Amino acid sequence: MLERLNQAMEHIERHLDQPIEVGELARIAVTSEYHFRRMFSALAGVGLAEYIRRRRLTVAGAEVLAGERTLLEIAVRYGYTSGEAFARAFRGMHGVGPGEARRAGASLRSQPRMSFRLIVEGSSSMRYRVVDKDEFRIVGRKARVPLVHEGMNPGIVAFIRGLGQETLRRIESLSDQEPKGIISVSDDLDESRAEGTELDYYHGVVTGAAVPDDMDALAVPAGTWAVFESSGPFPLTLQHLWRDVFTQWFPSNPYRSRPGPEILRTRLSQDGTEADAELWIPVERTAV
């Protein structure tokens, strides 16, 4: 899998001055567009579109300093429809406009070219199972919140605190399927998975019960799920579990992610510093 990802990275480098289709990158990597985007952002720590944008502006910056092409020629070469749009993007990355950079020979920022390699640590094993699940429904309360990669998510914390104990008890009483009890559900995430982008967060349960009038519901089609177990400091271990699933488990197993909500079932210790968790990721088997 990593070899194919690196072939896709080479394709990006050869086509920085041309349109780059995600479908073609996914074809090179022998996977779906959805999984390619997910895998890339997990491995690279940046969304695919943002990485390509930074690489183009890095190469464009070198051409600006070289002085062999006009600024408009460079703008068009790297996909900008006007000199003004190019200047805004250039300043956003390099902190200086292209004209000023050329006149003053300014120092510019660089997005290094990425490649991927596997580091085998062997210090721990990942506990997982694969489950085929019929269509089900998530019922609870929903909020649109920003994505946070490390530490507590203030938007989610404030949302849950605002629900009140009575509402939480009512939600939990509806649970009648696995994963049992209150769950945290992330859905409709931005494809870049960049910090600060928004997602739908559900604090609810999996249930076949009728939906109360004052609650939100999310219908989830039948499909296959990979279920991962984790224990450790809260919330860091859980956030690292998400990362490890995409950087370690997927490259080593004949599955890829598919569109759908990601479900986290967490049981906190009494002091709130440790947690046992199950992470449910929608998957599909790949051809061997």
Do residues 102 and 72 lie in contact, with contact meaning Cβ atoms separated by under 8 Å?
no
DSSP per residue, 179-208 = SPS-EEEEES--TT--TT-EEEEEEEEEE-
Same domain? For 100 and 205 the reply is no
Give the domain CATH number at 139.
3.20.80.10
Same domain? For 177 and 226 the reply is yes
What is the structure's pLDDT at 288?
Answer: 55
Same domain? For 31 and 162 the reply is no
The residue segments making up the domain with residue 41 are 2-104
In whole angstroms, what is the distance from residue 147 CA to residue 13 CA?
29
Q: Is the residue at 110 inside a domain?
A: no
Same domain? For 159 and 271 the reply is yes
Q: Is the residue at 119 inside a domain?
A: no
Same domain? For 152 and 223 the reply is yes
In whole angstroms, what is the distance from residue 76 CA to residue 95 CA?
20
Walk along the chain (288 residues) in steps of 10 and give the mean pLDDT of each run: 88 96 95 90 86 96 94 96 95 94 88 77 65 95 89 90 96 95 93 84 95 96 94 80 82 88 92 89 86
Do residues 1 and 35 lie in contact, with contact meaning Cβ atoms separated by under 8 Å?
no
Q: Is the residue at 204 inside a domain?
A: yes
Q: Is the residue at 34 inside a domain?
A: yes
From the list 264, 195, 186, the residue with the least C-alpha distance to 227 is 264
Domains in the chain: how many in total?
A: 2
Same domain? For 155 and 273 the reply is yes
Same domain? For 55 and 176 the reply is no
Let me know how long the chain is. 288
What is the structure's pLDDT at 122?
Answer: 41
Same domain? For 278 and 142 the reply is yes
Same domain? For 134 and 56 the reply is no
Domain boundary among 71, 104, 137: 104
From the list 152, 135, 153, the residue with the least C-alpha distance to 144 is 153
Same domain? For 146 and 280 the reply is yes
Domain boundary among 104, 139, 159: 104
